[in-house]
Chain A
Amino acid sequence: MTIYILRRLAYAILILLGVSFITYLLLYLIPADPARQLAGRSATPETIANIRAQLGLDLPFYQQYFQYLMNLLQGDLGRSYIQRTEVSALIGSRLSASSQLLVWGIGFELLIGISLGVLAALKRNTALDRGLMAFSFVGVSSPHFIASMLFLYLFAVHLEWFPLGGYGTTHHILLPAITLGILGSGWYSRMVRSSMIEALQQDFIRTAHSKGLTRVRVIFRHVLPNAIIPVIPMVGIDIGIFIGGLVVVESVFGWPGLGQLAWQAIQRVDIPVIVGVTMVSAVVIVLANLIADLLVPLVDPRINLEKS
């Protein structure tokens, strides 16, 4: 197990290096000049050149990237070009909000996804099954921006069940979390449905039924624990997609998290912040996948990570 973890951590470092390189390269290639942006419209070419030199933007790409990596190793993510403050401070101030929304959102995804998946499997090939699967299809294919605005209008403006965006209480987190939950639940409901159908056909389920166990007991004690195993690594993979959704949902709901920070930074071409948020997101995704993979053998002893 230790070797497996060490190997995965080594891969993680390589992945993070790759992410940092690609992000840095893409932003380097954008035909926007941060020095010019900082210098403002009244600046002379000399002032712009001076700022470019101060920021090291006149250096070749490999030198800039190497310098960035060196700073990164010391925990220095640089300073925002727009907000002129430490990127680590900006990210730090928003981590808590995003973490809360991540936990609640994934929680709702699982709750809605697993419930609908179980229901669809039990009512296989009925109108309800087809309806639920259509719902999950619509959910995963809906644009986050439109769905968020729609939910906000319906539940906050029209029905007034929730506050109109904002941050601070459980009441504030519910609507963005439910929105994320509904939009992302489709992946889980489809997966749970098929693994439930597969589990329902297993011999041990027939045995459980023949032992005289009630249907509810068979489903919750025997079918669901088996059907739910693929959901755990799925959560690891889903984190990446989920963070992509956070960028839009946080912006619409006024949720002061990393997604909103990323959205503002992209709009203003604030390169250090874009790279910083990308790196932090990459770390979260890599760690989430590692944790999810480590959890699977704990839930299902038949799976041996070392051999796999």
Chain B
Amino acid sequence: MTLKTRKSLFTSAIASLMFAAYVQAAEPKNGGDIIVTYQNDVATLDPAIGYDWQNWSMIKSLFDGLMDYDPGTTELRLDLAESYKLSEDGKTYTFKLRPGVKFHNGREMKAADVKYSLERTSNPNTKSPGAGFFSPIVGYDAVSQGETTELEGVKVVDDYTVSIELTAPNATFLHVMGLNFASIVPKEEVEKYGEDFGKNPVGTGAYELTDWTLGQKLVFEKNPEYFRSGVPYIDTITFEVGQEPLVALQRLERDEVDIAGDGIPPAKYLQFKNDPRFQDLMVTGDQLHTGYLTLNVTMPPLDNLKVRKAINMAINKDRIVRIINGRATPANQPLPPAMPGYDSDYEGYKFDPEGAKALLAEAGFADGFETELFVMNTDPQPRIAQAMQQDLANIGITANIKSLAQANVIAAGGVQDQAPMVWSGGMAWIADFPDPSNFWGPILGCDGAVPGGWNWAWYCNEELDAKGAKADAMAAADQQEARSELWGEVFTQAMADAPWVPIFNEQRVTVHSKRMGGEDALYVDPVHVPVNYDYIWVK
């Protein structure tokens, strides 16, 4: 054997070993305990109530619904349902449940639990922020008005079969069944704990809560009876709360923390991004988000289409993206690129300050005008508003910034004649589920243009609403492509009326320790937000 051959064999052996080590490292491993930190205490773990990005995936790990999504994707998959059938008229879903699935208290989950859970969320006494999602179910109105507690459309066929009748065919219904609000809960535990069920959650999920020390920590332990074999991988997840995000990142660098749940504060993003110690620990992913500036179409002079178009042309979106250190892509339409219906050929309104000035003059505002821009008061939102203010000043519009707490901006947007312009940053809009309809009804549809609603542009186009309704009625599997196209048309036609200035689609960043394993997509899961705890593992 020549030296060259020996050298080559040696190299091959090393390469094989390295590959084996890589394969081994890439294979999920069971066991291990991890620490996740958050600044705020967890609000609640009641699936009917929890509705923030912090508790969303925690609840998903404790509970299951009839439907869920493939890990790290927006693809629907069956969860507690083993199969489902849609009736010919497209109005009734019949779900077959998996037999033998047990709640954390040991009792088997059955069809009656599904009915109970959906009715509990719909019941106004539960004060669920997700109740409205169940409005397509027959009998929802009677429940929401307090006339009855039973959803007429939900029927227990037998222990493992439940049928749900809708008032009309609805293509989004399976997504609704994948929401946390549709998680299945055991009646006896809800009744035992009453309003404190959110602190004593019992579900069928991959993990069970074993300790919650208020203001300090929550401990999730692996559910040995979980119905999906092989997962979860991690034995214990301890969520330490009350941790300042920058301190959490320092602890993560010292290997005291595995996931810094709050990510990186916007002002520090660039510093961390350029720090070699953090480069391999940062995961960036797209989310179903669009940040936009609403133009109140009912308030003069924004009721003038030419003025709204001029504002659309005046805002320099690239500069705004730079303000948030490139953690987004400029947007030209309401839908984010990952959403079905997104029109990649649509060009939107190009940045053209001179054209905007001319359009403003055409509208009779050659000297500009004075208006107000409402914005949430935490970084980086005021800085973004200032950039918009400068852009508007360039075409003669004086926009006075009203920087307020989140709840106050939301309240102002919900009053018809109060907020001429609202920058949605920090408040809206991240889709509840990956379907274009969720980007229409509450924020651009007529239903949302009501006092207290989220349609802060107060834009109501009944023709487009009808088109959206037509698209939503296309529930059959073979209609989905046509449905997406129809929704795409709805959004581009709405942009012809310029009720918004779509600004950017923001990305999400998660930071994890060196020892954490699993695909990047799991750390920026678009549905199990922010992290899919069921599928990540410790190396």
Q: Is the CB of B215 within 8 A of A93?
A: yes
B11 contacts chain A at the CB level, 8 A cutoff = no
Given A43-B129, A251-B244, are A93 and B124 also a contact pair (CB < 8 Å)? no
Chain A proximity of B48: nearest CB distance (Å): 10
Cβ–Cβ contact A252 & B196, under 8 A:
no
B210 interfacial by beta-carbon distance below 8 Å: no
Contact A164 B405 (CB under 8 A): no
Q: Which of A36, A47, A267 contacts B411 (CB 8 A)?
A: A36
Most chain B beta carbons < 10 A, residue from A50, A94, A254, A260: A254
Q: How far is the CA of A252 from the CA of B246 in the complex (A)?
A: 9
Whether A31 and B127, one on each chain, are in contact in the complex, defined by CB atoms closer than 8 angstroms, is no
Would you give the shortest CB distance from A199 to chain B, in whole angstroms? 43
Question: Which B residues are in CB contact (< 8 Å) with A251?
Answer: 39, 242, 244
Residues of chain A within 8 A of B49, CB atoms compared:
84
Residue pair B213, A39 in contact (C-beta under 8 Å): no
For A167, the chain B residues whose CB sits under 8 A away are 216
Do B407 and A93 touch across chains, with their CB atoms under 8 A apart?
no
A45 within 8 A of B: yes
Asked if B242 and A252 make an inter-chain contact with CB atoms under 8 angstroms apart, the answer reads no
Closest Cβ of chain B to A17, distance in Å, is: 27
- A260 — nearest CB in chain B belongs to which residue? B242
- Given A45-B452, A47-B144, A84-B43: A38 touches B129 (CB 8 Å cut-off): yes
Asked if B99 is at the interface of the complex by the 8 Å CB criterion, the answer is no
Q: With A and B bound together, what is the CA distance between A234 and B250 in angstroms? A: 38
Q: Give which listed residue, B125, B131, B452, contacts A54 with CB less than 8 A.
A: B125
> In the complex, are the beta carbons of A31 and B44 less than 8 A apart?
no
For residue A193, which residues in chain B have a CB less than 8 angstroms away from its CB?
Answer: none
B39, B40, B407: the one contacting A33 at CB < 8 Å is B407
Pair B243/A50 contact, Cβ less than 8 Å: no
Main secondary structure of the interface of B (DSSP, over half): loop
> Are A261's CB and B215's CB within 8 A?
yes
Query: Complex Cα distance A89/B130, Å?
Result: 26
User: Is the C-beta of A165 less than 8 angstroms from some C-beta in chain B?
Assistant: yes
The yes or no answer to B256 lying at the interface (CB within 8 A) is yes
Bound: A261/B39 CA distance, A: 11
Taking the complex as formed, is B493 at the interface, i.e. its CB lies under 8 A from any CB of chain A? no
- Closest-by-CB residue of B relative to A37 is B407
Which residues, 179 to 199 on B, are CB-close (under 8 Å) to A?
A: 195-196, 198-199
Evaluate contact between B411 and A83: CB separation under 8 angstroms. Answer: no
Within the assembled complex, what's the spacing in Å between the Cα atoms of A257 and B135? 41
Q: A94–B243 contact, CB under 8 A?
A: no
Residues of B within 8 A of A14 (CB): none
Number of B residues near A (Cβ < 8 Å) is: 57
The minimal Cβ–Cβ distance linking B422 to chain A, given in whole angstroms, is 14
| Residues in A neighbouring B247, C-beta threshold 8 A | 152, 164-165, 252-254
Judged by a CB distance under 8 angstroms, whether A90 is at the interface is: yes
Q: Cβ of B46: which chain A residues have Cβ within 8 Å of it?
A: 84
Q: Which residue of A lies closest to B134 (CB)?
A: A42
In the complex with contacts A42-B133, A48-B452, A256-B215 CB distance below 8 A: yes
Contact A42 B432 (CB under 8 A): yes
CB neighbours (8 Å) of B451 from chain A are: 45
A39 cross-chain contacts in B, Cβ below 8 A = 127, 129
Chain B 240-252 per-residue mask, 1 if CB under 8 angstroms from chain A, else 0:
1111101100110
Does A203 make an interface contact (CB < 8 A)? no
For the complex, is B518 an interface residue (Cβ under 8 Å from A)?
no
Is the CB of A280 closer than 8 A to any CB of chain B? no
Instruction: Assess whether B40 is in contact with A267, with CB atoms less than 8 Å apart.
Output: yes
Q: A31 touching B411 by the CB < 8 A rule?
A: yes
Instruction: Indicate whether A187 reaches chain B with its CB closer than 8 angstroms.
Output: no
Which chain A residue lies CB-closest to B412? A31
Would you call A301 an interface residue if the criterion is a C-beta within 8 Å of the partner chain's C-beta atoms?
Answer: no
Residues of B within 8 A of A253 (CB): 244, 247
Residues of B within 8 A of A42 (CB): 129-133, 432, 442
Across the interface, which residues of B come within 8 angstroms of A250, CB to CB?
242
- 8 A Cβ contacts from A256-288 to B: 256-257, 260-261, 264, 267-269
Judge whether B23 is part of the interface by a CB distance below 8 angstroms: no
> What's the Cα separation between A4 and B327 when bound, in Å?
64
| B504, CB-defined interface residue at 8 Å | no
Cβ contact within 8 Å between B243 and A264: no
In the assembled complex, B263 has its CB within 8 A of some CB on chain A: no
Across the interface, A164 reaches (CB within 8 A) one of B130, B199, B250, namely B250
Evaluate contact between B408 and A32: CB separation under 8 angstroms: yes
Q: Which residues of B contact A257 (CB under 8 A)?
A: 215
The answer to whether B145 and A46 have CB atoms under 8 Å apart is: yes
- Closest residue of chain B to A93 (Cβ to Cβ) is B214
- Residues of A close to B405: CB separation below 8 A: 30, 32, 267, 269
**Do the beta carbons of B254 and A83 come within 8 Å of each other?**
no
Query: Taking the complex as formed, is A44 at the interface, i.e. its CB lies under 8 A from any CB of chain B?
Result: yes
Asked whether A252 lies within 8 Å of B124 as measured between CB atoms, the reply is no
Which A126-160 residues sit within 8 Å CB-CB of chain B?
Answer: 149, 152, 156-157
- Taking a contact as CB atoms under 8 Å apart, the answer to whether B198 and A85 are in contact is yes
- Residues of B within 8 Å of A261, CB to CB, are 41, 215
Q: Is A51 an interface residue (CB 8 A)?
A: yes
Q: In the assembled complex, how far is the CB of residue A255 from the closest CB belonging to chain B, in whole angstroms?
A: 7
Contact A93–B414 (Cβ < 8 Å): no
B401 at the A interface (CB under 8 A): no
Whether A211 sits at the interface, judged by CB under 8 Å, is no
- Cα(A255)–Cα(B124), bound, Å: 37
Q: A40 on the interface (CB 8 Å rule)?
A: yes
CB nearest to A257 among chain B residues = B215
Give chain B nearest CB distance to A150 CB in angstroms.
12
Known: A31-B411, A32-B410, A39-B129. 11 other contacts (CB 8 A): A40-B128, A46-B145, A50-B146, A79-B195, A84-B49, A84-B196, A93-B213, A164-B254, A254-B240, A256-B242, A269-B405
> Taking beta carbons and an 8 Å cutoff, which residues of B are in contact with A?
39-41, 43-44, 46, 49, 51, 124-125, 127-133, 135, 144-146, 195-196, 198-199, 213-216, 240-244, 246-247, 250-251, 254, 256, 405-408, 410-412, 414, 428, 432, 442, 447, 450-454
4 smallest CB-CB distances across A and B, nearest first, come from A40-B129, A32-B407, A256-B215, A93-B214
